[in-house]
Amino acid sequence: MNKLFTFLVLGGLLVVLLASISELPPMGEMDNPSYNEIANYYIDNSAEDTGSTNIIAAIITDYRAFDTLGETTVLFTGIAAVVSLIGVTHHKDKKKEEENHG
Amino acid sequence: MDDLFVKVTTKMILPFIQIYGIYVIIHGHLSPGGGFSGGAIFAASIVLYTLAYGLHKGQKRMPHSISSKVETGGILFYIGIGFVGILAGYPFLTNKAAGFPMGELGKVMSAGLIPMVTVAIGLKVMSTIVTLFHTMLEED
């Protein structure tokens, strides 16, 4: 029963994802939604809007600063995961434990 | 690694790597680079120091207590800058409209919020890489 449920959910997800691939626009087409006026807006106005000569810095730390905050949260999550798994050895009782274990 | 040549060379090139990392961070809004790459360069200097001199000395130079505070401080500084926009009556992380000093285009002290955010990201990336490296070395 459990396996059947898992199979149904994963199979349904597979069908949805495969169906969405057929709806994707062809690669490299001029009319694709990713080639819109935003790129030209950044090139024309970023110096005036942000006072920064580096357009990439203007985008990632001004226009999309909230996205970059999420990126730094990813770093925080990664380090929290690593330290919670293997990094518990640097507390104060470390020397005592080592002595006890020989 | 207990090698005299490695130690002497590390001691010689360490300040140059760190200066370059700081340069990349504080020129993040003027030239290619920014917080992520500059922080990684700065962290590479401390990783190199730990590799050459051993974990014990490396941890003395960058203890866990300091690096964890730098990391948390970096992200709190970032969020605090964002709240300036809200206090001024604009959306989170507003730059020009929230009254940050914009300065002159092309100078180091310009672009309002961008250099502060870049410094916060640089501190965060630097302390993250150093903490991960030291934690994984400790495991052995």
How far is the CA of A8 from the CAs of A2, A5, A17, A19, B5, in angstroms?
A: 10, 5, 14, 16, 62
- Which pTM was predicted? 0.76
- pLDDT band at residue B140 under the 50/70/90 scheme: low
Tell me: the pLDDT tens digits for B65-108? 888 888 888 888 888 888 888 888 888 877 777 777 777 777 77
The answer to whether residue B16 scores a pLDDT higher than 90 is yes
The answer to whether residue B50 scores a pLDDT higher than 70 is yes
The answer to whether residue B38 scores a pLDDT higher than 60 is yes
Which residue out of B25, B81, B132, B140 would a mutagenesis test of the A interface target, given it has the greatest number of A Cβ atoms within 10 Å?
B132
CB atoms within 10 A of CB B55: 14
pLDDT over 70 percentage in chain A: 84
Total domain count for chain B? 1
How confident is the model at residue B19, as a pLDDT? Answer: 93
How confident is the model at residue A62, as a pLDDT? Answer: 83
Chain A CA closest to residue B111: A51
List b or e across B66-103, with b for residues whose CB sees 16 or more CB atoms inside 10 angstroms.
ebeebbeebbebbeebbebbeeeeeeebbbbebebebe
Tell me: the pLDDT tens digits for A13-43? 999 999 988 888 887 777 777 778 888 888 8
Q: Please judge whether A82 and B96 are an interchain contact, meaning their C-beta atoms are less than 8 angstroms apart.
A: no
Tell me: the pLDDT tens digits for A37-63? 888 888 888 888 788 888 888 888 888
For residue B78, report the phi and psi dihedrals to the nearest 5 degrees.
-60, -50
ipTM: 0.74
Tell me: the pLDDT tens digits for A50-97? 888 888 888 888 888 888 888 888 888 888 888 888 866 555 555 544
Instruction: Provide, as residue numbers in chain B, all residues whose Cβ is less than 8 Å from the Cβ of A51.
Output: 29, 96, 102-103, 105, 110-112, 114
How confident is the model at residue A102, as a pLDDT? Answer: 43
What tokens does A88 get? 């518990």
Chain B CA closest to residue A88: B135
How confident is the model at residue B14, as a pLDDT? Answer: 92
Q: Please judge whether B30 and A54 are an interchain contact, meaning their C-beta atoms are less than 8 angstroms apart.
A: yes
Q: Please judge whether B29 and A53 are an interchain contact, meaning their C-beta atoms are less than 8 angstroms apart.
A: yes
Residue B31 contacts A where some CB pair is shorter than 8 Å: yes
pLDDT over 70 percentage in chain B: 98
> For residue B133, what are the domain limits?
4-138
Q: Please judge whether A65 and B113 are an interchain contact, meaning their C-beta atoms are less than 8 angstroms apart.
A: yes
Counting one residue from chain A and one from chain B, the pairs whose CB atoms sit within 8 A come to 110
